Structure 1
Amino acid sequence: MSQQRLSYDGSAPGPGLARLIVVVVLAAFAGVYVLAAPFRTGETVRTVGTVALTVLVFASLLAWVLPRAARFRGVALATVQVLLAGLDVLAFGTSVGILAFAAGTLLLTSYALPALAVLAGAAVIAVLRAPGAAAAADAAITPVLGALVVYGLVRLADRVADLAAARPALTMAAVSRERLRIADELNTGIGRGLDAITAGSRRALDHPEEIDEVLRVARGSLADARAAAAGFRAMSLAPEAAAARALLAAAGIEAEVRTGHEEPLGSAGALLATVLREAVTEVVRQGTATRCVIETSERDGRVRLRVSNNGPPTAARGEEGLADAAARVEAAGGTLTTGLGADGRFAVEATIAATPRPVSLPDPTAYGLSVTLLAVVVAGFCVKALLQLSWGANLAVAVVGMALIAALQLRWAVDDRPRHRYALIAAQTLLSLAPVLWIGATWIGAVGFLAGTFLVALPIRIGAPLVAAAMAGTGAMSAALSLGPARIVNYTVSTLVTGLVVYGLVRLARLVRDLRAAGEELARAATVQERLRAARDLHDLLGHSLAAMLLKCELARRLGKVDPARARAELTEVVAMAEQARADLRAASGAGEPEMSLETEIESARSVLTAAGVETRVERGHGPLPGPAATVLSTVLREAVTNVLRHSSARHCVITTTSEAGLVTLTVENDGLDPRARRTPPGSGIGNLTTRLAAIDGTLTARPDGTGGFRLQAHVRPDAED
């Protein structure tokens, strides 16, 4: 799935491009009356007067187009524009079409009745000037269409600017909603558990029999925290894909990830993350593949994950580890299959319904209105052309031809790259040129729609020369039909103007649509990032606290009868840890920023490791640290201690801090690692710490030494944080 990535700020390229399109189209519109002046008046003075008034009318409209000229907007300028346009028409004989600028301005200023009055006046003047009913109707329709074009183009440019301005607010609103949802989830489950641990630990100080209940609640809360962290990470497949790539690379397998889905995925992501984890683990376990491809796609409301590799299939492949994942996928209404694909690779493929993504920008009707406006304008141009024909076979053919051209024109607004694009362009070219042979000059105006198609359907390097060719062809056909110089110029210039009007309306409609999509994508990405942040905080902060509380409760239970004083001291620490965990929970839910002291964390680490029977030595060599550096290093230490307890049988651990040349280093070394043990898939802890350190330009290394030891080092430059 390819997506157009847009990056709009308050000015260019989105709003800036939109306003540039409007200025160019309206300038071309005004240019028709400027170029027609010499042919109409025949006098230099009258020509100069017409050109000057037309330019002033156009210039006054720019106050409603350009933000920097917004201070000039108002009733006074609109009134002046109406007077200038009226003078141009009445005194110099300019076409009533110039009144479209004045009527459009009045509509933009929310004066609908005066705008209707101007259009009615234009119709009266057209009737008085025109030699026949058809010509009068044609002249009367022109200012109406022009007013709609002016109003529509400017309003569409405003919608583009509004949508661009709404992006930050939308993103913040999405993050705020996600924080409220996260806070509700965490406080309902884990928050109540922490309260129960605190209350139970206090009761156990005097009633040791209560410690079993505290242990039960602590185990449940720790399981809830880990499940919540996994659930938050599962909103996006990106972390799991990154972990999979790292695992494959460590096993010497070339990995390629092709992403074709939208984030966040919600519950669907959780299931697909499980499938991905199990599939990649199986590839590594088999040890026969040299290349693995991870692909995702999304279509018709379903998300598909495919993990393929070039290793030879075996009977056991897909049976171990994937059975539970397959059952969960099928229970959710999805499918999971394994076997050889059409490309000869063994593949695991899972498909599941996508979770609804309730993220949207304001003004959802803007794109629909833009397409409707385009349809009205195209229909108006078609009616203008048909009015020039008399009743008969030619009229029937013309109606069918114009309907087909209008349908083709609207197709480009709703589909940038339709199938058989060049065939559609060829069909419109034929419809625009061939009828001239039997309908005559009246059909020449259809070439303007063709020029618009060239601009919207083809790259500018191809479209622009074709528009020039269309204009030249229009002039040649007009001359071949023995039209006068004024009509030849009018048809030639009108081809460009009609093409630009169509281009402007279609391009702005696409900008509205694409900007909406970009804003929604940004909000979805912000939602994913917020949940990933919550997952990191749960894992790094709260997970450690709960694990430490569980350990100390176990120790207090064992010491209850042999050393009651020591047991009370351990329970007192549990109460303090529970209170700190409450603060960690607020940070994880986005209600506050975690503030941690490295000194306090070192003492806590010593206490937890000692309680677990690990001999711990601490060597401090750092000075005072600013808040961000202290918090990140404290988080690193928490994760390191958790890994020592969970992933080793350590008997000794050394925690060291140093400060040299402005570089502060935290080192945690432990023994108890079996150098012959099979490498397991990486967890999220190291990735979380790398992300946190990178945010303050820090680095992290963590690796076994090959002799049963493990070393983790974090480096930060506190002085560089500002």
Structure 2
Amino acid sequence: MLGPRLARLIVTVVLAAFACVYVLAAPFRTGDAPRAVGTVVVTVLLFVSLLAWVLPGAARFRGVALATAQALLACLDVLVFGTSVGILAFAAGPLLLASYALPAAAVLAGGVVVAVLRFPDAAAATDAAITPVLGALVVYGLVRLADRVADLAAARPALTMAAVAQERLRIATELNTGIGRGLDAITAGSRRALDDPAELDEVLRVARRSLADARAAAADFRSRSLAPEATAARALLAAAGIEAEVRTDHEEPLGSAGALLATVLREAVTAVVRQGTATRCAIETAERDGQVRLRVSNDGPPTAARGEEGLAAAAERVEAAGGTLTTGLGADGRFTVEATIAATPRPVSVPDPTAYGLSVTLLAVVVAGFCVKGLLHVPWDAGLPVAVLGMALLAVLQLRWTADAPPRHPYAVLAGQTLLSLVPVLWFGTAWLGAAGFLAGTFLVALPIRVGAPLVAAAMAATGAMTAALSQGPARIVNYTVSVLVTGLVVYGLVRLARLVRDLRAAGAELARAATVQERLRAARDLHDLLGHSLAAMLLKCELARRLAGADPARAEAELTEVVAMAERARADLRAASGAGEPELSLEIEAESARSVLTAAGVETRVDLGHGPLPAPSATVLSAVLREAVTNVLRHSAARHCAIVTTNEAGLVTLTVDNDGLDPRARREPPGSGIGNLTTRLAAVGGSLTARADGDGGFRLQARLRPDTVVDGVPNAG
């Protein structure tokens, strides 16, 4: 993945820059070629061995043996070849990574002793002693942050699954508490009714309540997400010959806010379709500052105003929740319905929220350390209080770039930091030269690389020129010049890794939210398509049994026996809807069940199955289509005849359901969620669905798919 690879690349580049400081300084520090070569060789070995803590492929080399070898190499570099004690960071950092805090402290303490022995001046000794401490923190922090980036990237799938599992548990608890108990009561009551028909009244009451609960739960799960409602609205507008434009810019799930806005969208689009004069309709959503806004505009005459009964009721609900709903002509002359409501808090979050804070804290410590190093060389009589104030301001400006949002006036802040980094050199001399390193880090953090890189080069050149102007020798010129780049890379690395952690957390949370939305929509589809049909069929059978109880007891008993069997199947449907099991349906059994239910409702039914053997995933999808088709016949038509036909031609299986119960004079109503659910199910396996009236009172629903391309419920690309 890009995130972990980029993080490791950043760490590698920063560590390489650190090593280069000591390699370039070797000829000036040692004074003879053999010691210079020794310094270069040992420093390169330290750098290469340090990569074992960075690269995952070298993880097997990590441990006490490697940390000990690195400590010995660093001590050899300092004591034998005369390298700066700063190289001890390459030993103390790995010891901290290996959780050996006391040995790391001992190494750093040894660095303090060497610094005191090398520099009789207290300020110079303190400066030298601070360097390995800061370096060890940088090594430790960069590697740990790269590990956090990798951990967050690897945790995203697990986080997504955990979010889905949590949502399934919530759904299962909710459904089992209401509908599950209702199914148990229907089963027990139907069995009692076999001996006492008077029990049927209670069974019917429970069946009606359970069906209402299932439909309400499906509507609730679906309405918590606004995007699916926008998709359904687009389909409705297209069916009415209205050009639709949908632009969504909000995060899902929206929860109760989504349910309210979905109601507004549904009523607004229904009003546009009923009006019948619009040719274009735009649907827009936006989320800003904790508020979600929905805007529906069309180019028809402004007759569908807030007085529409459904829209007025939706407005009352929005206003009761603290939102606003307005209607009228917009600035573009189009009639507009606009609703705004506070976004519901989203419960999904990514673990390890401290990683970003760790990076900012580490950067603050490093910045403070570098400031102290510079201030050590400013005498009190040379304006130390002013220098402290200037360094503090520089630190604040530097840390400002680590915030989630850039400064309000970024270029003004950048210009101020540039002046504050360079101009004080005129007063404080070499003590202020290190400030250019922070400026280089800001260039890399705040500007595109094509702009920042040349500015870093310019800062290095300016530092080299100022060092020479201050009559410093070649070694100091090289050191100060290269240090600008190293410090800039350290700042860039810490800030960039911090942002990587933040972005991965945000991406992981978004992925988990999306998975939660999809799980909720899946539950809504299963409730509507599977359980809703079963409960409707049971209700119809119970009513038929009650009517037949006196006239034909044997037939009533047969209907009740079938109700008990349906309740058992509905239990399986409930488990599938709550995510506890995958539904697996037989098209042949569903066709016979459809014939039984339609016949009980007085609909003459013909079943002609010519599809042949089907794989379970294909049979399940087509069975769900058949269930919805039968439910629509029972709920939305006055059919007297219905035909259920399947064919298999050249591997293309077609399910067709025709009925003659559509009144061509009836006012067109917006479709329910069932057709949209089935379209989604078939599209997921590469199939298609059509549903249309024939103009003569008939209605045909037709589904097509190729079973040989469906494997475990998904299209087979092979």
Identify the TM-score tier after normalising by the shorter chain. Answer: over 0.9
- Secondary structure at the aligned position of 1:517 is classed as helix
Secondary structure of the residue aligned to 1:305 is strand
Matches of 2:144 and 2:482 in 1, distance apart? 25
Contact 1:233–1:535 (Cα < 8 Å) also in 2: yes
Match of 1:144 among 112, 124, 133: 133
- Partner residue, 1:31: 20
- Deviations along 1:466-498, one digit per CA (max 9) or x if unpaired, are 212222222222233332211111111111101
Q: Deviations over 1:209-264 (max 9, x none)?
A: 22222222111111100000011112211111111112222333333333232221
Distance 1:425 1:347 in 2: 44
Gaps of at least 5 residues in structure 2 are: 712-718
Contact preservation (8 Å) 1:385, 1:442: yes
Which region of structure 1 is more displaced relative to structure 2, 289-298 or 243-252? 289-298
Q: Displacement of 1:318 after TM fit?
A: 4.6
Query: Does residue 706 in structure 1 map to residue 661 in structure 2?
Result: no
From 385, 402, 407, the counterpart of 1:413: 402
Give the superposition deviation at 1:200. Answer: 1.8
1:45 equivalent in structure 2? 34
Deviation at 1:438, TM superposition (A): 2.5
> In structure 2, what is the Cα distance between the partners aligned to 1:589 and 1:490?
66
Secondary structure at 1:303 match in 2: strand
Note if 1:287 corresponds to 2:289: no
Equivalent residue for 2:682, pick from 677, 693, 696:
693
Whole-Å separation in 1 of the counterparts to 2:590 and 2:150: 49
Is the partner of 2:383 in helix, strand or coil?
A: helix
The equivalent residue for 2:69 is 80
Residue matched to 2:163:
174
Among residues 634, 638, 662, which one is paired with 2:651 in the alignment?
A: 662
Q: 2: CA distance between counterparts of 1:318 and 1:369?
A: 56
Deviations 1:615-658 (A, max 9, x none): 11111112111111111111110011111222222121111111
Residue 25 of structure 1, CA deviation: 0.4
Asked if residue 55 in structure 1 is aligned to residue 44 in structure 2, the reply is yes
Contact 1:308/1:345 (8 A) holds in 2? yes
Separation (CA, whole Å) in 2 of partners of 1:316 and 1:164? 49
Deviation of the 1:686 alpha carbon: 1.6
The answer on 1:297 being equivalent to 2:286 is yes
SS at match of 1:225: helix
Amino acid at match of 1:144: V
Structure 2 distance, partners of 1:668, 1:623, is: 18
**Distance in 1, Cα, partners of 2:322 & 2:679:** 37
Structure 1 residues 700 and 319, CA, compared in 2 at 3 Å: closer, same or farther? closer
Instruction: Specify the code of the residue in structure 2 equivalent to 1:105.
Output: P
Partner of 2:323: 334
Q: Partner residue of 1:202?
A: 191
AA in 1 matched with 2:58: A
Structure 1 residue aligned with 2:242, among 245, 253, 270?
A: 253
Maintained 8 Å contact 1:279/1:318: no
Q: Which residue number in structure 2 is paired with residue 466 of structure 1?
A: 455
1:93 paired to 2:79: no
SS in structure 2 of the partner of residue 339 of structure 1: strand
Judge conservation of contact 1:283–1:309 (CA < 8 Å) in 2: yes
1:623 corresponds to 2:612:
yes
Amino acid across the alignment from 2:444 = L
Farther-moved stretch of structure 1 (259-268 vs 541-550): 259-268
Match of 2:521 among 516, 532, 554: 532
- How has the CA–CA distance of structure 1 residues 312 and 410 changed in structure 2, closer, same or farther, with 3 Å as cutoff? farther
Moved more, 632-641 or 303-312: 303-312
Identical aligned residues as a percent: 85
The DSSP-based 3-state class of the residue aligned with 2:653 is strand
The alignment of Structure 1 onto Structure 2 pairs a total of residues equal to: 711
Q: Quote the Cα distance in structure 2 between the aligned partners of 1:255 and 1:25.
A: 52
3-state secondary structure, aligned to 2:253:
coil
Distance, in Å, in 1 between the alignment partners of 2:219 and 2:500 is 38
TM-score, structure 2 length as denominator? Answer: 0.96
Q: Is the deviation greater in 314-323 or in 73-82?
A: 314-323
Whole-angstrom distance in 1 between the partners of 2:423 and 2:270: 65
Three-state SS of the structure 1 residue aligned to 2:654 is: strand
- How far apart, in 2, do the equivalents of 1:342 and 1:321 lie? 25
Q: Who is 1:9 aligned against?
A: none
Note the C-alpha offset of 1:680: 2.0
1:562-600 superposed Cα distances (whole Å, 9 cap, x missing partner): 333222222222121111111111111111111111110
CA contact (8 A) 2:325 2:340 kept: yes
Q: Which amino acid aligns with 1:61?
A: L
Match runs of 1:491-506 below 5 Å: 491-506=480-495
1:178-189 equivalence runs, <5 A:
178-189=167-178
Q: 1:683 aligns with which of 666, 672, 675?
A: 672
Indicate if the aligned counterparts of 1:25 and 1:497 stay in contact, CA closer than 8 A. Answer: yes
Equivalent residue letter for 1:654: A
Partner secondary structure for residue 336 of structure 2: strand
The answer to whether the Cα contact below 8 Å between 1:416 and 1:457 also exists between their aligned partners in 2 is no
Aligned residue for 2:309, secondary structure, equals coil
Match runs of 1:298-313 below 5 Å: 298-313=287-302
Query: 2:213 corresponds to which residue?
Result: 224
| Matched-pair contact (CA < 8 Å) for 1:248–1:255 | yes
Structure-1 residue corresponding to 2:344: 355
> Is the 8 Å Cα contact of residues 271 and 308 (structure 2) preserved in structure 1?
no
Provide the rounded CA distance (Å) in 2 between the counterparts of 1:478 and 1:484.
Answer: 8
CA distance in 2 between counterparts of 1:277 and 1:620 reads: 38
- TM score, norm. by length of structure 1: 0.95
Of 163-172 and 135-144, more deviation after overlay is shown by 163-172
Report the Cα offset of residue 182 of structure 1. Answer: 0.7
> Equivalent of 1:521, from 510, 513, 518?
510
SS at match of 1:512: helix
C-alpha change, 1:25 and 1:316, in structure 2 (3 Å) is closer
Q: SS where residue 561 of structure 1 aligns?
A: helix
User: What is aligned with 1:240?
Assistant: 229
The equivalent residue for 2:661 is 672
Residue aligning to 1:8:
none
Query: Structure 1 residues 228, 416: CA separation in 2 closer, same or farther (over 3 Å shift)?
Result: same
The alignment yields a C-alpha RMSD, in angstroms, of 1.8
Aligned partner letter, 2:441: G
Q: Which residue of 2 aligns with 1:4?
A: none
The answer (yes or no) to whether the contact 1:669–1:710 under 8 Å persists in 2 is yes
Report the secondary structure of 1:136's partner residue.
Answer: helix
> How far 1:412 moved relative to its partner?
1.6
SS where residue 292 of structure 1 aligns?
A: strand
What corresponds to 2:716 in structure 1? none
Counterpart for residue 142 of structure 2: 153
Please list, as runs of the form range in 1=range in 2, the aligned pairs for 1:313-462 lying within 5 A after superposition.
313-314=302-303, 316-342=305-331, 344-392=333-381, 394-462=383-451
- 485-494 or 24-33, which moves further after superposition? 485-494
- Asked if 1:610 is matched to 2:610, the reply is no
Contact 1:303 1:351 in 2 (8 A): yes
Runs of 4+ in 1 over 6 A off after TM superposition: none
Residue 557 (structure 1) aligned with residue 546 (structure 2):
yes
Distance in 1 between residues matched to 2:242 and 2:425, nearest whole Å: 66
Where 2:380 maps in the other structure, the secondary structure is coil
Q: What is the identity, as a one-letter code, of the residue corresponding to 2:134?
A: L
CA shift, 1:714, in A, is 1.4
Q: Quick one: distance in 2 between partners of 1:38 and 1:329?
A: 75
SS of alignment partner, residue 125 of structure 2: helix
Match of 1:634 among 608, 617, 623: 623
Deviates more, 1:418-427 or 1:222-231: 418-427
**Distance in 2, Cα, partners of 1:312 & 1:38:** 85
| In 1, Cα distance between equivalents of 2:699 and 2:465 | 83
Aligned residue number for residue 123 of structure 1: 112
Are 1:99 and 1:118, in contact at CA under 8 Å, matched by a contact in 2? yes
Q: 1:284 to 1:423 in 2, by over 3 A?
A: farther
Contact 2:284 2:295 in 1 (8 A): yes
3-state DSSP class of the match of 1:160?
helix
Q: Does 1:571 align with 2:528?
A: no
1:33–1:94 Cα contact (<8 Å) kept:
yes
Q: In 2, Cα distance between the equivalents of 1:348 and 1:444?
A: 61
